[in-house]
């Protein structure tokens, strides 16, 4: 931004804004960030570690904390910042999750002393790093096995001052043994933990037989295993899908015991994906909502004896039925969503179990080969030196004589090379031998290693040339790891077939009531007791009137037919009780009717018995069974409830056939029994012609039960057959209340 003075004024000149295509911005700015998060932060590699984990563990290894004494966590955090400059708080948080005290991992990698919080608690905060102490667990020996033999590649640290491993040469499939979760940009990873023994045995089986099927893998490792135990609701088909694709979910349930003496339930294990606070909070919420009347209190009683949530019960409560209800309504039953996303050579792949293990075997085989190459180089160098020393054995006096007669120190090595036909490296080795060691015994003891070295080199070269030998080494190491660190499953399996799903049922007070429905779509549900004791008149909206009065009971279902050929359904007990002195509930608002949609008729039923009669202005009538509106699912709205080809004149609900009277706008009435109208199976049918409209433009305006017609003798208007035009209203009937 430039400023220019013009007299006393300052003029600000803004620099032009350069336009840039959004694709260029994404490519230059966003993509590098996204790739950095995916590759260098959030997604684990085949050794089962993210960069933050690896830097922390390697720092502790270099500090001598594998088998060493405990040291303050703050000390480790400070040293780790030489490799990981993201700040002490994030480093310590990473450490916390790897500790035994936190209980996040099935096989913790860090031995801890002090408060490191708990995986199962979101409120139990870990202590500051200056108060806690750590060192590496013995199992880390397997993570760092032969790392000093160049088994893995090393790279410079961020400032170029140190070297760090790109991956750790994990001697067991840590990628599957310990859980790992990460959220990157555009992708995520959520790998559950599996039992160490089962994973190692599966890897051995795959190396022994390449064509191992998923079913065979399931026989060896049937399901994940978690540090918090709990139970997996097991479905073999569901688990097979996860093993094949690396995606899917399964349900986990808490483990409980019933304390008969204290009449309470003790929750001793919970799903890995939830916390005790989330469980207790949900239980208390349901208690306040009056949905858990069986419980008086729920609290966290975790102590020195381990994890425990206690739920106090009311007398007479069935604990098993209550737990079925709690599994349904609270996080005591939770789902674990799997997403086995792993970085392979800096590229993310979502893989199944077999594919992950194949990649680990390939990675581990390369580590073993690198270690073998290192041993070959070391032994070859040793053999080379000893071969030169063996030549000295032929004439020790000659070697001493050459050294003694050489005037210049720089000529000693060249003279030895010439005198014994050895190279410079061998000559340097001989020249450095102490005078006291220039005896036959010492030289013979050294040269006796030659045969053993030749034998070892033949064996090592044989391993390097044969992948089967490499796999034998990996398998042998895995068997040793099983013996040292294998443990029984913590998470038990329960069959999906043995679980009874809880079906929520409401305790409904059933009582006699009367329902009043008005022309303006207000509804009053008044109990029989309230109606009998009322002395006031109905309060209605101005110009409103009651058009339906139905005596029924509270535990019934309501069907509301609207002018849009739609029926809405509701439980009568969901509609609040009203009093005569109130206007009642405005049903279009409760049911969510559309604009200009009005309720024209209401039916209340408990068994969907009886029939509906729809009379249309074109003189047709349709009779359908009410059971046609019954649904298995809890649907609230049904479209095409009746025909929309002609405007609706009237609706009548009847339990059996009855006499009705139809009236046209030309002043004619027709008496007919509905048994003459055939019953139709399709709700949206127009039915049959009942009233013949001879005059153009005339219409049927209403149809009512005969006893409600107001006619002195309705049968006078009967016709032998239908359709019929009806008969003109007689004197005295013309003023009837049909219109």
pLDDT tens digits along 186-222: 888 999 999 999 999 999 999 998 789 999 999 999 9
d(CA 131, CA 124): 16
Does the pLDDT at position 8 exceed 70? no
Tokens 């025909």 belong to 643
How wide is the angle at C-alpha 533 spanned by C-alphas 527 and 537, nearest 5°?
A: 90
49-63, 104-118, 407-421, 451-465: range with lowest mean pLDDT: 407-421
CA distances from 1 to 4, 15, 16 (A): 10, 6, 10
Question: Considering only the top CATH level, what class is 359-485?
Answer: mainly alpha
- Compute the average pLDDT of residues 613-624: 94
CB-neighbour burial class of residue 332 (10 A; exposed 0-12, middle 13-18, buried 19+): buried
**Which pLDDT score is estimated for 10?**
58
Give the model's confidence band at 505: pLDDT under 50 very low, under 70 low, under 90 confident, else very high: low
Find the catalytic residue in 58, 61, 120, 131. Answer: 131
- Compute the average pLDDT of residues 658-686: 91
Helix (H, G, I), strand (E, B) or coil at 723: coil
Does the pLDDT at position 737 exceed 80? no
d(CA 69, CA 60): 11
**Which pLDDT score is estimated for 277?**
95
**Cis peptide leading into residue 723 (ω within 30°):** yes
**Which pLDDT score is estimated for 134?**
97
**Which pLDDT score is estimated for 307?**
93
Q: Which tens digits make up the pLDDT trace of 339-366?
A: 999 999 989 999 999 999 999 999 999 9
Does the pLDDT at position 18 exceed 80? no
57-71, 185-199, 470-484, 525-539: range with lowest mean pLDDT: 525-539
Does the pLDDT at position 233 exceed 60? yes
Does the pLDDT at position 3 exceed 70? no
Q: Between residues 306 and 370, which one has the greater pLDDT?
A: 370
**Which pLDDT score is estimated for 738?**
46
- Compute the average pLDDT of residues 27-34: 79
Q: Between residues 429 and 55, which one has the greater pLDDT?
A: 55
Residue 131 annotated in active site: yes
Give the model's confidence band at 732: pLDDT under 50 very low, under 70 low, under 90 confident, else very high: low
Instruction: State the fold for domain 512-728.
Output: Neuraminidase (2.120.10)
d(CA 664, CA 739): 9
**Which pLDDT score is estimated for 35?**
79
Structure tokens at 191: 């790998």
Q: Between residues 53 and 446, which one has the greater pLDDT?
A: 53
Q: Which tens digits make up the pLDDT trace of 470-499?
A: 999 999 999 999 999 999 999 999 987 777
Structure tokens at 488: 């029984």
Does the pLDDT at position 407 exceed 70? yes
HSE-CB for 354 with a 13 A CA cutoff:
19
Does the pLDDT at position 28 exceed 90? no
The rounded percent of the chain whose pLDDT value lies above 70 is 96
**Which pLDDT score is estimated for 21?**
83
**Which pLDDT score is estimated for 211?**
86
Asked whether 645 and 619 are in contact (CB, 8 A), the reply is no
Question: Considering only the top CATH level, what class is 49-169?
Answer: alpha beta
Does the pLDDT at position 36 exceed 80? no
- Compute the average pLDDT of residues 163-178: 96
Give the model's confidence band at 739: pLDDT under 50 very low, under 70 low, under 90 confident, else very high: very low
What is the average pLDDT score of the chain? 90
Say if strands 264-269 and 247-253 run parallel, antiparallel, or are unpaired. unpaired
Give the model's confidence band at 6: pLDDT under 50 very low, under 70 low, under 90 confident, else very high: very low
Question: Considering only the top CATH level, what class is 255-331?
Answer: alpha beta
For the beta carbon of residue 390, count every other beta carbon within 10 angstroms: 18
Give the model's confidence band at 698: pLDDT under 50 very low, under 70 low, under 90 confident, else very high: confident
**Which pLDDT score is estimated for 626?**
93
**Which parts of 80-202 are beta strand (E)?**
110-113, 133-136, 154-156, 163-165, 180-183, 188-191
- What is the pTM assigned to this prediction? 0.70
Does the pLDDT at position 59 exceed 90? yes
Give the model's confidence band at 49: pLDDT under 50 very low, under 70 low, under 90 confident, else very high: very high
The residues spanned by each domain of the chain are 49-169, 255-331, 359-485, 512-728
């Amino acid at each position: 931004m430039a400023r220019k003075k013009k007299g006393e004024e300052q003029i600000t000149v803004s620099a032009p804004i350069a336009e840039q295509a959004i694709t260029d911005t994404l490519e230059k700015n966003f993509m590098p960030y996204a790739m950095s998060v995916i590759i260098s932060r959030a997604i684990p590699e085949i050794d089962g570690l993210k960069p933050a984990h690896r830097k922390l563990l390697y720092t502790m290894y270099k500090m001598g904390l594998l088998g060493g004494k405990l040291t303050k966590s703050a000390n480790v955090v400070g040293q780790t910042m030489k490799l990981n400059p993201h700040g002490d708080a994030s480093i310590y948080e990473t450490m916390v999750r790897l500790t035994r005290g936190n209980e996040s991992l099935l096989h913790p990698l860090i031995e801890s002393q002090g408060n490191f919080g708990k995986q199962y608690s979101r409120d139990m905060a870990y202590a500051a790093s200056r108060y806690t102490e750590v060192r590496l667990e013995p199992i880390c020996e397997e993570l760092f096995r032969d790392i000093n033999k160049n088994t893995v590649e090393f790279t410079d640290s961020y400032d170029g001052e140190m070297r760090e491993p790109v991956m750790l040469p994990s001697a067991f499939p840590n990628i599957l043994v310990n859980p790992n979760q990460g959220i990157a940009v555009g992708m995520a990873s959520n790998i559950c933990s599996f039992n160490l023994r089962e994973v190692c045995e599966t890897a051995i089986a795959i190396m022994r037989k390449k064509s191992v099927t998923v079913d065979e893998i399931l026989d060896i490792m049937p399901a994940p295993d978690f540090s918090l135990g709990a139970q997996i609701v097991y479905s073999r088909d569901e688990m097979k899908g996860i093993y094949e694709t690396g995606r899917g979910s399964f349900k986990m349930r808490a483990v409980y015991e019933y304390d008969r003496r204290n009449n309470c339930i003790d929750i001793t294990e919970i799903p890995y994906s939830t916390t005790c606070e989330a469980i207790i909070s949900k239980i208390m919420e349901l208690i306040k909502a009056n949905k858990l009347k069986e419980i008086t209190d729920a609290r966290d009683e975790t102590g020195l004896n381990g994890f425990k949530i206690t739920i106090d019960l009311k007398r007479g409560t069935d604990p098993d039925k209550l737990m079925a209800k709690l599994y349904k309504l609270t996080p005591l039953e939770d789902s674990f969503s799997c997403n086995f996303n792993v970085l392979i050579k800096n590229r993310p792949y979502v893989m199944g179990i077999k594919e992950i293990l194949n990649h680990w075997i390939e990675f581990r085989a390369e580590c073993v080969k690198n270690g073998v190459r290192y041993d070959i180089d070391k032994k070859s160098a040793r053999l080379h030196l000893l071969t030169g020393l063996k030549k000295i054995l032929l004439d020790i006096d000659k070697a001493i004589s050459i050294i003694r007669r050489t005037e210049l120190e720089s000529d000693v090595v060249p003279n030895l090379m010439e005198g014994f036909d050895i190279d410079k490296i061998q000559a340097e080795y001989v020249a450095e031998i102490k005078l006291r060691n220039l005896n036959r015994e010492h030289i013979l003891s050294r040269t006796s290693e030659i045969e053993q070295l030749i034998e070892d080199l033949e064996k090592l070269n044989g391993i390097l040339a044969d992948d089967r030998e490499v796999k034998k080494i990996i398998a042998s190491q895995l068997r040793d790891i099983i013996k040292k660190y294998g443990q029984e499953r913590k998470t038990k399996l329960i069959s999906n077939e043995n679980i009874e799903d809880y079906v929520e049922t409401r305790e409904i007070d059933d009582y006699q009531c009367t329902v009043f429905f008005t022309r303006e779509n207000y509804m009053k549900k008044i109990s029989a007791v309230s109606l009998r004791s009322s002395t006031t008149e109905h309060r209605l909206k101005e110009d409103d009137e009651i058009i339906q009065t139905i005596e029924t009971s509270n535990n019934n279902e309501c069907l509301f037919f609207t002018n849009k050929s739609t029926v809405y359904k509701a439980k009568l007990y969901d509609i609040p009780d009203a009093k005569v002195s109130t206007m009642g509930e405005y049903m279009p608002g409760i049911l969510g009717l559309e604009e200009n949609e009005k309720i024209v008729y209401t039916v209340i039923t408990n068994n969907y018995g009886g029939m509906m009669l729809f009379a249309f202005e074109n003189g047709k009538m349709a009779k359908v069974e009410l059971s046609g509106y019954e649904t298995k699912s809890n649907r609230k709205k049904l479209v095409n409830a009746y025909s929309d080809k002609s405007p609706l004149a009237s609706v009548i609900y009847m339990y059996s056939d009855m006499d009705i009277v139809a009236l046209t706008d030309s002043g004619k009435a027709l008496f007919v029994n509905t048994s003459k109208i055939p019953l139709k199976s399709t709700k949206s049918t127009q039915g049959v012609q009942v009233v013949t409209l001879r005059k153009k433009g005339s219409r049927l305006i209403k149809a009512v039960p005969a006893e409600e017609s107001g006619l002195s003798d309705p049968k006078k208007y009967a016709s032998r057959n239908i359709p019929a035009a009806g008969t003109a209203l007689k004197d005295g009937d013309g003023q009837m209340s049909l219109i």
